[in-house]
Structure 1
């Protein structure tokens, strides 16, 4: 398992999809950029008054929250930038902050339009139970 994590960080920091090895940042810098993106997205989501956790029951909840899917979207978008060999300034830290803020704004205002919630199981049946 730890080999997989190291190999993923190594791949993201020293090569990209086309095999170019000119990124020049270490795996520690990539790890710090991921942590900054996660923390920044959660803080901005809480400032935008997203709930920390979704409504109960957690398993069947389709509500957005500060914990899920906000940091997952931030890490995914940051990974795309890192693999495409774009780090901007300060070894990707500025990019991580920008991605964290934009992912929180996306989850707050556009997530339900892009990914609508599923219909209720009993909606449209017309049978009263």
Structure 2
């Protein structure tokens, strides 16, 4: 004996491909880079200007040779990160990373830290042709 159980079906005016498209367009997207056709949030877009600087402070009388590097980068989650590296010239130094939701906030902190270091005597390093 063969028993067939019928499941309730949903009848729509959409074709199969349209139904799949509607299912894939959810309000909660699990990835900023989804294939659902959703617009990519503004903060994930590439920065217009790359922010990166390397400055040094040297004082032979005090035996001081320090470096300080600042850069703004985008992490894998689309957030802006301010990366600070500092230490004695010739060493790896230390590093601190701070995450910002907006590029504007990261740039503001970048410029504030740069101003503090410039007031303390740090100067940009100028590369000559034979150092490149």
Same fold (TM over 0.5): no
**Larger relative strand fraction:** 2
TM-score (norm 2): 0.27
Question: Could you say which structure has the larger radius of gyration?
Answer: 2
TM-score (norm 1): 0.28
Higher relative contact order (CA 8 A, sep 6+): 1
**Larger relative helix fraction:** 1
